[in-house]
């Protein structure tokens, strides 16, 4: 592996959206493209990070906000050190996402909110983790977007709907955003 002596500016790309919207799929595909360009990148997938950073937390609003804050802090730390941090987190509440944005701003670290705005019906059809089926069967309450609240971003840097389009074309939009901001 070649290590670049060029110092890159880091940033956080924060993917938010309903369960099974395509957040993690997009983050993984973007990371692959960035690694091809020898860009330092880390994925902070909410499902992977939660058991490590927030094992004691449940799914109340306060617990969800605490989890988002912890992931946001790690993302900001990585970004401050030149890494492109790709956070794939449902993060249903605008206020919590806003605090993560403010943390990045206070550190003069770029932050890009990407709303993966796939319709709930499409997410339920995909049902990657079986959450929608559990909710329909009465085995789960509070599923984000069904009987749990989701506050869509008011002014994200990018809105992507993954239904009926290729992952590659969505990643092209993400790459274009990062290039426009001189991060690639």
Report the catalytic residues: 91
Could you tell me which of 82, 81, 60, 74 has the C-alpha nearest to residue 103?
Answer: 74
How far lies 124's CA from each of 44, 45, 127, 134, in Å? 23, 20, 5, 11
User: Number of C-alpha atoms within 13 angstroms, CB side, residue 3?
Assistant: 1
Taken as a whole, the chain contains a residue count of: 184
User: What's the CA gap between 6 and 165, in Å, rounded?
Assistant: 35
Query: Where are any strands of DSSP class E within the chain?
Result: 11-16, 41-45, 84-88, 111-116, 158-160
């Amino acid at each position: 592996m070649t290590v670049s002596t060029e110092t890159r500016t880091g940033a956080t790309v924060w993917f938010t959206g309903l369960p099974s919207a395509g957040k993690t799929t997009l983050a993984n595909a973007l990371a692959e493209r960035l690694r091809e360009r020898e860009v330092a990148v880390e994925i902070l997938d909410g499902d992977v990070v939660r058991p490590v950073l927030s094992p004691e937390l449940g799914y109340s609003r306060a617990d969800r906000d605490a989890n988002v804050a912890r992931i946001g802090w790690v993302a900001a730390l990585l970004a401050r050190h030149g890494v492109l941090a790709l956070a794939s987190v449902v993060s249903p509440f605008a206020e919590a996402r806003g605090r993560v944005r403010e943390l990045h701003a206070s550190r003069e670290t770029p932050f890009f909110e990407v709303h993966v705005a796939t319709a709930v019906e499409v997410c339920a059809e995909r049902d990657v983790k079986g959450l929608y089926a559990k909710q329909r069967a009465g085995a789960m309450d509070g599923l984000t977007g069904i009987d749990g609240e989701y506050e869509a971003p008011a002014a994200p840097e990018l809105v992507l709907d993954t239904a009926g389009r290729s992952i590659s074309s969505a990643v092209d939009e993400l790459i274009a955003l990062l290039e426009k901001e001189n991060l690639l």
